[in-house]
Structure 1
């Protein structure tokens, strides 16, 4: 067989490999919101245990955005925009949010009116409930009220 034949075979093979990650990124199941299921989770530089650990999360229920699937691994983005790979068994589809920006008020009613129940600082993580008209049900260790949706990372379209 000629060199040109093998070059063609190699280029077609490489093109197929290059297209695989793009196909995974176009998966109809992604992006989606998820949350960490353990209080210690490693983020890796690639989708296998032999890749370097780039970050160690020590925050159960931290919300993340899943942007790509690869076998048992998920490429995720955290609230700060950092991306890396996490084993899917450490992720849940349970909806959690994290307060961002400034101290936010938790209100009694879903339209932002009613009694001020609590104030929460940036970094507080809570279970997200229904979000409508710019307000989300937010549960922080049993303290339930409504928070402005724009104060929480983890709401809306991922």
Structure 2
């Protein structure tokens, strides 16, 4: 009679071998399941709110009370810690709490901070001022290089100084 313990240890390898043989004969490749976008990588990282309404809780679980309810899809947040399906996040005002990963997206967004920020025509910050972006205005954040970031506010595109945008740079 085979040893039950060794059978359990070998079961995953047997399953993997069977799947590889089946896939090999049909020309199919087995791919690992793709993680939710907000689960890729280790903290800290930038994310944005993926839903129109998102709750921030005081702890990593549904049994913890709701501290804030956000109603601003696309708001940038900084993910500070990962715990299972929960993320410890910080919002632009500095509030910290826990959100479910499914309510976050890795789509980059930014929020203008401080003072009115000029949106310029050229990537190096030169060229005419196309728009003046008020503090609190949210937009889609593109590549940041040499202190300037591509920024799109509802179709109005240009380049804004990286230090004027919360959500740009190293989290």
- So what's the TM-score if we normalise by structure 2? 0.75
Q: How does 1:1-158 map onto structure 2 within 5 Å? A: 29-158=42-171
Q: Where does the alignment leave 5 or more consecutive residues of structure 2 unmatched? A: 1-40
* Secondary structure, counterpart of 2:163 in structure 1: helix
Q: Distance in 2 between matches of 1:150 and 1:86?
A: 26
Query: Any gaps of 5 or more consecutive residues in structure 1?
Result: 1-27
Q: CA deviation at 1:51?
A: 0.5
Q: Secondary structure at the match of 2:81?
A: strand
CA distance in 2, matches of 1:84, 1:116: 37
Q: Secondary structure at the match of 2:61?
A: coil
Give the Å deviation of 1:43. Answer: 0.2
SS in 1 for 2:143: strand
Residues in 1 aligned to 2:66 and 2:47: alpha-carbon distance in whole angstroms = 20
Determine the C-alpha separation between the residues in 1 that align with 2:52 and 2:161.
27
State the distance in 2 between where 1:139 and 1:107 align: 12
**Cα distance in 1 for residues equivalent to 2:49 and 2:81:** 16
Counterpart CA distance in 2 for 1:116 and 1:73 is: 41
Larger Rg: 2
